[in-house]
Amino acid sequence: MSLKPLSSFQAQPYRPRTTVVAGLAVVAALYTGSMFLNWVGVITAGGSYVIVKGIQQANWILVVAAILVGLTVRVSRVPPDGIMRFLFVALDFFVPLGLYIEYIDNLGRAESYTTTPYLGPGFFLAVGATVMLVAATVLGWREREQWSETAGTERQS
């Protein structure tokens, strides 16, 4: 009976899935880009209706973009662990919730002043990026299982 070298029982080196890394990076770039586009229409204190850019209305998305850059770097180095998975779920919950709150807030503000609500291209770019965010985090969540399945779990017979 021949002996196997110990290296055959060690885990394979981590190779990140490029779709997850690229997806998270693209979403961060889209969120940042949406800040420079028209976002929503607001009523000023003087009563005039003004179209504002995302940086003025929804600058919380820049925090999300910074978190995504950190997650992208982390996923490119090590497989997602429990804290990263928690961040995936938190982002998938709070970002759509924040965009929904922006939508309802804009709609309610417009109705109270009897104006037509306006949602600009920056808002819709952020909504599209959120769909990509959910897809990327689902792929990132599943990456740990796929990596551990191929991690050399051979047994001697």
Q: How many residues does the chain have?
A: 157
Q: Are 77 and 13 in contact (CB under 8 A)?
A: no
Q: Which pLDDT value is given to residue 146?
A: 60
pLDDT in tens, 117-145: 888 999 999 999 999 999 999 988 877 66
Q: 17 in the Ramachandran plot: left (φ > 0), alpha (ψ -120 to 50) or beta? A: beta
- Rounded to 10°, the helix 60-77/82-112 angle is 160
Domain regions of the chain by residue span:
24-144
Contacts with 82 (C-beta within 8 Å, 6 or more apart), sequence order: none
Using a cut of 0.95, tell me whether the model's pTM lies above it.
no
Cβ 28 vs Cβ 70: under 8 Å? no
Could you tell me the two tokens for 39?
């976002």
